[in-house]
Structure 1
Amino acid sequence: MLERVRAFFDQWHRLQEVHALTDRDLEDLGITRWQIEQFARMPENVGDRLLQMAQVFGLDPVALQHDYADYLDLLEVCTHCGSVKACKCALADADHLRPEDCGFCPNARTYDYMARHPVLH
């Protein structure tokens, strides 16, 4: 229970920081207010799971984060995933996880495409 309360207040503080950003700040970041609010509401481990899953498909996490538009799209899908439990279980044994084992992942097709067409994304 205490952990949930802490998470609530952490999120509330992040949203307060987002609301304090000026339009110029957002422009400098290259992100909309709506997008950054979505990030502030996102559970903290979503980005980590996304990057771990990308590695299963042979993608470089650093390169993926630098391809900002694709990274934002992947984060959006991952944030609203209905397979979080399956994802966590699969990634717990990531050393033995193969792309074909990841049919539960709503980003699997995108990861697969990006791995097969590295210069096109």
Structure 2
Amino acid sequence: MMERFLRMFRLSRDLHEIEAMSDAALADLGVSRAEAIALAALPDDVPTRMTAMAKVFGLSVTDVMADRRLWQELLSSCSHCGDLATCHRFMARAEPDDPVDTRMLSFCPNRRTFDALARARAV
């Protein structure tokens, strides 16, 4: 219960900070006001979970953040995951550094995008 209150207070603070930012400051960050608000409202575990899955595909945080729009799409897809339980089980596997056949990760809404990024990176 306390975690929920802390999250609400953090979100409220973040939203006030975003509202106080100028359009130019937001543009420097590469986001619109609406996008900044949507990013602030994401559950705290989404960026960590999404970048951990990207790593399975051989991608770094830099790779997935290179295109700010794509980064936001990946976060949004991850936050709306329809199979979070499977994702959590996969991420908690006994040997997290063992190679994975990424074709088996059909539960991940970002799988195709991660595959495409990994192929483009390999070229």
TM-score range, shorter chain: 0.7 to 0.9
Partner of 1:112: 115
Q: Structure 1 residue aligned with 2:104, among 101, 104, 107? A: 101
Taking the aligned partners of 1:119 and 1:58, their CA distance within structure 2 comes to: 10
Taking the aligned partners of 2:36 and 2:65, their CA distance within structure 1 comes to: 16
**Structure 1 vs Structure 2: percent identity of aligned residues?**
35
Q: Secondary structure at the match of 1:46?
A: helix
Taking the aligned partners of 1:37 and 1:76, their CA distance within structure 2 comes to: 12
For the 8 Å contact 2:30–2:68, the answer to whether it is kept is no
For the 8 Å contact 1:47–1:75, the answer to whether it is kept is yes
| Cα displacement (A) at 1:119 | 7.3
For normalisation by structure 1, the TM-score amounts to: 0.86
| TM-align CA RMSD | 1.9
- Within the alignment, does 1:63 sit opposite 2:56 as a pair? no
For the 8 Å contact 1:90–1:97, the answer to whether it is kept is no
- Within the alignment, does 1:88 sit opposite 2:88 as a pair? yes
* Number of aligned residue pairs: 120
Partner of 1:27: 27
| Cα displacement (A) at 1:35 | 0.5
Unaligned runs of 5+ in 1: none
For the 8 Å contact 1:91–1:97, the answer to whether it is kept is no
| Cα displacement (A) at 1:108 | 0.6
Unaligned runs of 5+ in 2: none
